[in-house]
C-alpha cells in the first residue's frame, strides 16, 4: 500500500478551501453590486411579494411563474408574482395592494397578443384568463361577459341563445378583456360593433362603467390603451338569429382561418397592423420574406403576416425578425409597418 503524504494532502485541502472561499466571496460581492444597481429586483423577491400577498390572502398566487406558459408565443421568463383573481373584489384588493406597494402590475389575458421578455418580469402579473370568468344573458338580445372568458366561448354562448353578431369572434383565441382592449376583429367584424358598455377598475380599485362610445374604438385601438385601468366585464348588444345559420357561419370562418393561418405553430396572431390602403401579408411576401427570420423566429411560410416560433425562439429573436421585416418592407414599398403584437 502506498504511503500517504499528509503534508501534501493538507496543502491540497487548503488550496481547495481557498478557492471555495474565494468563489463564495466573489458571489457575495456580485450579489451586493447587483443589489445596488437593481434594488427593485430584490425588493420584489421580498418586500413587494409579502406586501401584496398579505393584503390579498384569498387570491391564488404563483411565484416565479414562467410567462412562456401563459403566452401563445410560448416565450417569456418568470414573473416574480402571478395572481389569478376570481372575483371583482379579489381584483380590487390586488390593485389596491399593488398601489400601496408602489407597484405597477401587468395585466394578462390569454397572452395571445403578447411578447414577454426572456428575462421575465420583476413585477406583479395579474392573469384574468380562466380566473375572472362568467357569462350571462341579460335579456333577449344582450349578454354580459367577464374579461377572463374566451372570445370563442362568448360566441358559442351567443349562438346557443340564438343571438347573432359575434360569429367573427369564434376563431379569435384571446379573452374578452383583451379583445375589448384591442378592439379585436376578423373577417369584417369587430367588437366595436357589439359593445354596449364596459366596466373597469381604475388602478386604485375604483369601479366605473363606460359606454361603447366612450370606449373610443378604432382599428385595433381603444381608450383602454391610454387609460390606466383593468377591464372587468362588458355588455354586448346582439340580435336574434337562427342558431343553425349562426353555427354554419362560425364553422365557415373557422375553416377559412385553418386554411390560411399557421395555427400549428406558436405565434401571437397577426404580427403587424394593417397599414392604410394595404395589407401587411402581401407587402411582406412581395419583399421576399416568407421563411426568413432570426434564430427560432421566422416569417410564416403559410401566411406572411405571421411571425412564428419554429422552436426555441427567444423574445430577442422575434424582435429582431420584426425589425428586419419592417426595414425590408420599407425599402421595398415605402410602407412603414406597425407591430400589432404588444411587446412587454
Mean pLDDT, residues 309-332 taken together: 98
At 22 the pLDDT is 42
Mean pLDDT, residues 174-198 taken together: 96
Q: Tell me whether residue 340 is one of the annotated catalytic residues.
A: yes
Q: Which candidate in 220, 267, 298, 314 is catalytic?
A: 220
Q: Is 270 exposed, middle or buried (0-12, 13-18, 19+ CB in 10 A)?
A: buried
Query: How confident is residue 46, by pLDDT bands cut at 50, 70 and 90?
Result: low
Least confident of 38-47, 65-74, 174-183, 327-336: 38-47
Q: Is the pLDDT of residue 12 over 70?
A: no
At 314 the pLDDT is 98
Q: Which candidate in 72, 197, 270, 300 is catalytic?
A: 270
Mean pLDDT, residues 172-178 taken together: 95
Rounded mean pLDDT of the chain? 88
Percent of the chain with pLDDT over 90: 80
Could you tell me which of 177, 185, 286, 183 has the C-alpha nearest to residue 231? 177
At 27 the pLDDT is 39
At 330 the pLDDT is 98
Could you tell me which of 291, 267, 287 has the C-alpha nearest to residue 340? 267
Q: Do 224 and 131 contact (CB within 8 A), yes or no?
A: no
Q: Do 187 and 169 contact (CB within 8 A), yes or no?
A: no
pTM surpassing 0.85?
no
Amino acid at each position: 500500500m502506498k504511503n500517504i503524504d499528509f503534508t501534501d494532502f493538507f496543502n491540497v485541502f487548503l488550496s481547495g478551501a481557498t478557492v471555495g472561499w474565494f468563489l463564495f466571496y466573489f458571489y457575495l460581492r456580485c450579489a451586493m453590486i447587483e443589489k445596488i444597481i437593481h434594488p427593485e429586483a430584490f425588493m420584489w423577491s421580498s418586500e413587494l411579494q409579502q406586501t401584496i400577498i398579505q393584503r390579498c390572502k384569498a387570491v391564488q398566487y404563483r411565484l416565479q411563474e414562467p410567462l412562456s406558459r401563459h403566452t401563445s408565443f410560448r416565450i417569456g421568463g418568470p414573473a416574480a408574482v402571478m395572481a389569478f383573481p376570481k372575483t371583482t373584489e379579489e381584483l380590487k384588493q390586488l390593485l389596491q395592494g399593488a398601489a400601496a406597494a408602489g407597484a405597477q402590475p401587468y395585466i394578462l389575458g390569454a397572452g395571445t397578443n403578447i411578447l414577454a421578455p426572456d428575462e421575465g418580469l420583476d413585477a406583479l402579473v395579474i392573469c384574468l384568463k380562466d380566473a375572472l370568468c362568467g357569462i350571462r344573458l341579460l335579456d333577449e338580445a344582450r349578454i354580459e361577459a367577464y374579461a377572463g372568458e374566451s372570445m370563442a366561448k362568448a360566441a358559442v354562448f351567443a349562438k346557443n341563445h340564438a343571438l347573432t353578431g359575434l360569429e367573427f369572434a369564434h376563431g379569435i383565441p384571446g379573452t374578452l378583456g383583451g379583445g375589448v382592449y384591442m378592439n379585436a376583429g376578423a373577417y369584417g367584424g369587430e367588437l366595436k360593433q357589439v359593445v354596449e358598455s364596459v366596466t373597469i377598475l381604475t388602478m386604485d380599485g375604483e369601479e366605473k362603467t363606460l359606454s361603447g362610445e366612450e370606449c373610443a374604438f378604432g382599428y385595433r385601438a381603444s381608450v383602454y390603451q391610454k387609460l390606466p385601468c383593468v377591464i372587468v366585464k362588458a355588455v354586448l348588444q346582439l340580435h336574434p338569429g337562427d342558431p343553425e345559420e349562426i353555427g354554419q357561419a362560425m364553422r365557415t370562418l373557422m375553416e377559412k382561418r385553418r386554411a390560411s393561418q399557421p395555427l400549428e405553430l406558436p405565434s401571437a396572431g397577426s404580427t403587424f397592423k394593417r397599414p392604410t390602403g394595404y395589407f401587411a401579408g402581401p407587402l411582406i411576401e412581395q419583399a421576399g420574406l416568407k421563411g426568413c427570420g432570426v434564430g427560432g423566429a421566422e416569417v410564416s411560410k403559410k401566411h406572411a403576416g405571421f411571425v412564428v416560433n419554429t422552436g426555441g425562439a427567444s423574445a430577442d429573436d422575434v424582435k429582431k425578425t420584426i425589425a428586419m421585416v419592417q426595414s425590408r418592407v420599407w425599402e421595398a414599398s415605402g410602407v412603414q409597418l406597425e407591430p400589432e403584437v404588444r411587446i412587454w
